[in-house]
């Protein structure tokens, strides 16, 4: 291992386990070469297969045992390797964790993103929480930060977790619906369990529909504790902030993507890494001195609460870069085992009852999922710090422990492994010495009792379009609920959050709106909660479709493509067929994909270049017209040049300010230009406006109700 630590440490360790099939010959598991793996050994050409066929038996037996249980929650996931480094040593006064205080140390990581409710083969773009689990392979051992893309949780005490999961999963009698929260059992749970309300606001918001894993935040959720060299503790909340901003898909779009490309987020992550568009996140911490434990109007130990960033700033401390795809999904992404209990010196737990339950659950679940306690020896789970102890045997033991003494204390192995001293930089784990005292009781603390104030805070912090999306989401979900009393029960709960919200939802789902508010809305807000305030200043990793047919202005295609690619966007030329089209000048324009194999929902923006003949052909092509109409409906940036502008009207997109001759016009993300372009394609003004429109992500306030798509 290099002395400063670098992210290749983990890759070097994995190298020892990699198996390369190149230049090899087929063998049995015993290494015996095989000359026929297509025909089983039988008596004569048409006779029975015989038991002597050890190759047949081994091949089939191994196949019969290929499956392991999928995760009970977060079954669908996608992983990537990367590295993390802190910016400076400013956390040294709070923690002895080396990877958090030494900027010369680059720590390898593995991250697994996931949805929660769906099974392993379910679609990526469902309305759900996303898992954001990070394994830091630090030089002091593995630290697992097993977070979500929402900062709060549905319940306060982990003993409710099986109830919650049974409610949100497909219903037990018919296993419907798959990967969806729009059904009776979830909402029955919600209406009877007011502590869910804050999280339900997040789940009904656009946060549940991330455009990309690279465009969502991550949160450790619980309050953890940093511990310094003197043993002093500081409360900490961990946040990941994506460098590309936090952006979401449109609900209608997510449902269509689930059919067109159920691997949408997984593919996006994979492709981005392959293309060198590495997802990056900043680690931020909210630090609260122990003396301030009780200064908030909520309990720091309550996982249904945030600490508003306006009260305690989220301080950027380091950067995570995901730069390597796994090589084998099962070996790495499926077998990775995150455990809340995996902490390193300088990081400790608090008494959050949700966190405490997780300390038990994660290790327990790996034992059944991965078949015993030696899952820590699986390559993806191995620590890069040496592992030496007296744990022995069990299923799938891969180590050959030497010596006779598997106990402590011993004299036969020289007393080794020796107990850490903790002196001279020897990092041993020391639990934070918290004083606890009390009677054994089953009782929720009174300080956990307010279930609505922060749900209201979230609602108040939303922009108008975010509020509209939340109301539509509640209407959709509750519109799928069969029992009227459940719909009514949820509206009653919402009336505690905000009267106007409850009324709007009630009106959409055939429920009598509440007569009056239960309490007045407190009027407080936290701007940091709104996605409208998230950075939207880059087109990096955005996918842009350019629609073409024979007769297209090649200069438009080239110039737009170059301008976008230069800024890190991915430009694809789409035509009715694969291969190439002929430009207006008779040149070939290469086609990236055939229109019938894709859809507008798989792109962030669409450009219609000039060329009379090309646009006439597109105007006759239902796929092309639908593409433009749908992109408009989903509030995406659209660029149209010269004759291309006509296609907007043909696609049913009217009521826009369209460019007059020689000018560039921008109206709600639709950028048009007629004439006046340079001979080499559109002028800089058009390109700049197009880039700005795409970087803005979506133009949510667009008037689109009239566009059928
Ligand atoms: Fe989990 N959770 N969880 N969870 N969770 C699992 O562990 C559990 C909770 C989270 O990519 C399981 O290995 C309990 C909060 C992620 O492999 C299981 C409670 C947060 C992942 C489990 C919670 C999470 C899991 C299933 C309530 C955000 C995927 C398979 C006390 C801070 C990790 C597994 C991966 C996975 C239990 C609540 C995040 C059963 C009992 C809160 C990201 O152990």
Strand 664-667: give its sheet, edge to edge.
593-594, 570-575, 543-547, 605-608, 637-641, 670-673, 664-667
The CA distances from residue 544 to 220, 326, 569, 631, in Å, are: 34, 27, 7, 11
77-381 fold = Catalase HpII,  Chain A, domain 1 (2.40.180)
Q: How many Å apart are CA 494 and CA 498, to the nearest integer?
A: 6
Task: Please give the pLDDT value at position 661.
Answer: 84
Q: How many Å apart are CA 592 and CA 351, to the nearest integer?
A: 55
543-695 fold = Rossmann fold (3.40.50)
CA nearest to 224, candidates 372, 86, 344, 375: 344
CA nearest to 467, candidates 229, 205, 274, 265: 205
Q: What are phi and psi of 283, to 5 degrees?
A: -85, 130
Contact 607, 654 (CB under 8 A): no
Residue 676 has pLDDT above 70, yes or no: no
Pocket test for ligand 1, best of 80, 362, 366, 369 (most atoms within 8 A of CB): 362
H helical segments located in 567-610: none
Place of tokens 């200043």: 537
Write the DSSP string, 52-115. Answer: T-HHHHHHHHHHHT---PPPSSS-SEEEEEEEEEESSSTTTTT---HHHH-TT--EEEEEEEEE
Residue 411 structure tokens: 């004299």
Task: Please give the pLDDT value at position 704.
Answer: 85
Tally Cβ neighbours within 10 Å of residue 200: 26
3-state class (DSSP) for residue 189: helix
| Interacting residues of 191 by C-beta distance below 8 A, sequence separation 6+ | 486, 489, 490, 492, 493
Q: How remote is the CA of residue 626 from the centroid of ligand 1, in Å?
A: 41
CA nearest to 39, candidates 676, 286, 47, 373: 47
Taking only the tens place, the pLDDT of each residue in 257-285 is 999 999 999 999 999 999 999 999 999 99
Residue 3 has pLDDT above 60, yes or no: no
Taking only the tens place, the pLDDT of each residue in 515-531 is 999 999 999 999 999 99
Residue 315 structure tokens: 């301080």
Task: Please give the pLDDT value at position 5.
Answer: 64
Give the DSSP H/E element, type plus range, for residue 27.
none
List of E strands, 130-217: 130-138, 141-148
Q: How remote is the CA of residue 339 from the centroid of ligand 1, in Å?
A: 9
Show the 3-state SS of 534-553: CCCCCCCCCEEEEECCCCEC
Task: Please give the pLDDT value at position 137.
Answer: 98
Write the DSSP string, 277-311. Answer: ---EEEEEEEEEEGGGTT-SSS-TT-TT----TTT
589 DSSP β-pair partners: 581
What atom in ligand 1 is closest to the CA of residue 362? 44
What atom in ligand 1 is closest to the CA of residue 222? 32
Contact 575, 627 (CB under 8 A): no
* Mean pLDDT, residues 216-239: 97
Contact 139, 5 (CB under 8 A): yes
Residue 678 has pLDDT above 80, yes or no: no
80 DSSP β-pair partners: 111
Q: How many Å apart are CA 521 and CA 233, to the nearest integer?
A: 36
CA nearest to 666, candidates 642, 644, 686, 643: 686
Q: Could you say which DSSP state residue 512 is in? A: P
The CA distances from residue 134 to 112, 148, 648, in Å, are: 7, 10, 45
Place of tokens 């192995």: 413
- Domain boundaries of the chain, sorted by first residue: 77-381, 458-532, 543-695
Residue nearest to atom 29 of ligand 1 (CA): 74
Give long-range contacts, CB 8 A cutoff, 24+ apart: 58-63: 58/28, 58/29, 62/29
Q: Is 153 in the pocket of ligand 1 (CB under 6 A)?
A: yes
Q: How remote is the CA of residue 362 from the centroid of ligand 1, in Å?
A: 7
Q: How many Å apart are CA 266 and CA 320, to the nearest integer?
A: 19
Residue nearest to atom 6 of ligand 1 (CA): 73
Residue nearest to atom 8 of ligand 1 (CA): 358
CA 663 to chain centre: 41
What atom in ligand 1 is closest to the CA of residue 303? 42
Tally Cβ neighbours within 10 Å of residue 482: 8
Is 401 annotated in the active site?
A: no
Q: How remote is the CA of residue 73 from the centroid of ligand 1, in Å?
A: 7
Task: Please give the pLDDT value at position 511.
Answer: 98
Question: What angle (nearest 5°) sits at the alpha carbon of residue 520, between those of residues 518 and 522?
Answer: 130
> Which of 207-221, 314-328, 664-678 is predicted least confidently?
664-678
| Interacting residues of 31 by C-beta distance below 8 A, sequence separation 6+ | none
CATH superfamily assigned to domain 458-532? Catalase, four-helical domain (1.20.1370.20)
Q: What is the chain's length?
A: 709
Q: How much of the chain exceeds pLDDT 70, in percent?
A: 99
Catalytic residue among 7, 74, 222, 469: 74
Q: How many Å apart are CA 382 and CA 216, to the nearest integer?
A: 28
Q: How many Å apart are CA 273 and CA 279, to the nearest integer?
A: 7
Taking only the tens place, the pLDDT of each residue in 352-390 is 999 999 999 999 999 999 999 999 999 999 999 999 999
Is 351 annotated in the active site?
A: no
* Mean pLDDT, residues 482-504: 98
Q: Is the dihedral of CA 160, 166, 168, 169 positive or negative?
A: positive
What atom in ligand 1 is closest to the CA of residue 114? 11
Taking only the tens place, the pLDDT of each residue in 321-345 is 999 999 999 999 999 999 999 999 9
Task: Please give the pLDDT value at position 692.
Answer: 98
What atom in ligand 1 is closest to the CA of residue 72? 26
Q: Is the dihedral of CA 405, 408, 411, 414 positive or negative?
A: positive
Q: How many Å apart are CA 568 and CA 564, to the nearest integer?
A: 7
Question: What angle (nearest 5°) sits at the alpha carbon of residue 13, between those of residues 8 and 16?
Answer: 130
Q: Is 700 in the pocket of ligand 1 (CB under 6 A)?
A: no
| Interacting residues of 549 by C-beta distance below 8 A, sequence separation 6+ | 575, 576, 581, 611, 613, 614, 615, 617, 618, 621, 624
| Domain 77-381 identical in fold to domain 458-532 | no
Catalytic residue among 142, 148, 325, 460: 148
Q: In this predicted complex, what is the ipTM? A: 0.98
Residue 655 has pLDDT above 80, yes or no: no
CA 536 to chain centre: 18
Contact 594, 626 (CB under 8 A): no
* pTM for this model (two decimals): 0.97
Question: What angle (nearest 5°) sits at the alpha carbon of residue 508, between those of residues 503 and 509?
Answer: 100
Residue 31 structure tokens: 């290494």
Contact 362, 147 (CB under 8 A): no
Contact 147, 222 (CB under 8 A): no
Query: What integer best gives the mean pLDDT of the chain?
Result: 96
Helix axes 499-508, 484-497, angle to 10 degrees: 160
Q: Is 346 in the pocket of ligand 1 (CB under 6 A)?
A: no
Taking only the tens place, the pLDDT of each residue in 112-142 is 999 999 999 999 999 999 999 999 999 999 9
Task: Please give the pLDDT value at position 66.
Answer: 97
Q: How many Å apart are CA 54 and CA 581, to the nearest integer?
A: 56
Cis bond upstream, residue 177 (ω within 30): yes
């Amino acid at each position: 291992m290099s002395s400063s630590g670098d992210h290749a440490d983990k890759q070097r360790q994995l190298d020892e386990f990699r198996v390369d099939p190149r230049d090899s010959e087929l063998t049995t598991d015993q290494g015996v070469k095989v000359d026929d793996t297509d025909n089983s050994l039988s008596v004569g050409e048409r006779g029975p297969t015989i038991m002597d066929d050890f190759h047949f038996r081994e091949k089939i037996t191994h196949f019969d045992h290929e499956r392991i249980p999928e995760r009970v929650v977060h079954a669908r996931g996608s992983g990537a390797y990367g590295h993390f480094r802190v910016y400076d040593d400013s956390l040294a006064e709070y923690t002895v964790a080396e990877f958090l205080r030494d900027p010369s140390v680059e720590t390898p990581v593995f991250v697994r993103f996931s949805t929660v409710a769906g099974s392993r083969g379910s679609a990526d773009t469902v309305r759900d929480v996303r898992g954001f689990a990070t394994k830091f392979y630090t030089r002091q051992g593995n630290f697992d930060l097993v977070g979500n893309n929402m900062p709060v949780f549905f319940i306060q005490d982990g003993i409710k977790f099986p109830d919650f999961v049974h409610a949100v999963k497909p219903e037990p009698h018919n296993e419907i619906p798959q990967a969806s929260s729009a059904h009776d059992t979830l909402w029955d749970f919600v209406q009877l369990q007011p502590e869910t309300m804050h999280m339900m606001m997040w789940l009904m918001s656009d946060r549940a529909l991330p455009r990309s894993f690279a465009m969502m935040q991550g949160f450790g959720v619980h309050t953890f504790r940093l511990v310094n060299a003197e043993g002093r503790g500081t409360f900490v909340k961990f946040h990941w902030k994506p460098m590309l901003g936090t952006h979401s898909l449109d609900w209608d779009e997510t449902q269509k993507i689930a059919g067109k490309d159920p691997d949408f987020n997984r593919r996006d992550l994979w492709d981005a890494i392959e293309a060198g568009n590495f997802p990056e996140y900043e680690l931020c911490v909210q630090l609260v001195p122990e003396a301030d434990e009780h200064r908030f109007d909520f309990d720091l130990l309550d996982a249904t609460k945030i600490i508003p960033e306006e009260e305690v700033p989220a301080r950027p401390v380091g950067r995570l870069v995901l730069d390597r795809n796994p090589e084998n999904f099962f070996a790495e992404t499926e077998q990775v085992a995150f455990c809340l209990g995996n902490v390193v010196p300088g990081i400790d737990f608090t008494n959050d009852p949700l966190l405490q339950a997780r300390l038990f659950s994660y290790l327990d679940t790996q034992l059944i999922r991965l078949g015993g306690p030696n899952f820590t020896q699986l390559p993806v789970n191995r620590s890069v710090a040496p592992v030496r102890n007296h744990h022995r045997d069990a299923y799938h033991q891969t180590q050959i422990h030497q010596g006779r003494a598997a106990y402590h204390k011993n004299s036969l192995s020289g007393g080794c492994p020796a107990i850490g001293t903790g002196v001279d930089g020897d990092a041993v784990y020391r639990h934070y010495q918290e004083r606890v005292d009390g009677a054994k009781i089953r009782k929720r603390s009174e300080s956990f009792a307010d279930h609505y104030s922060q749900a209201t805070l979230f609602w108040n912090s939303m922009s108008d379009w975010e509020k509209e999306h939340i109301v539509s989401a509640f209407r959709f979900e509750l519109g799928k609920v069969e029992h009227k009393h459940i719909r009514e029960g949820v509206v009653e709960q919402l009336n505690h959050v905000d009267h106007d919200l409850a009324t709007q939802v009630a009106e959409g789902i055939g429920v009598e709106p509440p007569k009056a508010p239960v309490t007045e809305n407190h009027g407080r807000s936290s701007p940091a909660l709104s996605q409208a305030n998230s950075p939207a200043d880059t087109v990096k990793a955005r996918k842009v479709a350019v629609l073409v047919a024979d007769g297209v202005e090649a200069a438009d295609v080239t110039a737009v493509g170059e301008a976008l690619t230069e800024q890190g966007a991915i430009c694809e030329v789409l035509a009715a067929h694969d291969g190439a089209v002929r430009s207006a000048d008779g040149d070939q324009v290469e086609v990236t994909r055939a229109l019938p194999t894709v859809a507008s929902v798989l792109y962030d923006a669409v450009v219609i270049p000039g060329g009379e003949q090309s646009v006439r052909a597109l105007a006759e092509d239902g796929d092309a017209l639908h593409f433009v109409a749908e992109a408009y409906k989903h509030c995406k940036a659209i660029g149209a040049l010269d004759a291309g502008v006509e296609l907007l009207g043909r696609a049913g997109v009217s009521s826009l300010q369209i460019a007059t001759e020689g000018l560039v016009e921008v109206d709600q993300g639709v950028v048009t230009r007629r004439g006046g372009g340079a001979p080499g394609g559109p002028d800089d003004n058009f390109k700049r406006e197009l880039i700005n429109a795409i970087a803005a992500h979506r133009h949510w306030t667009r008037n689109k109700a009239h566009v059928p798509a």
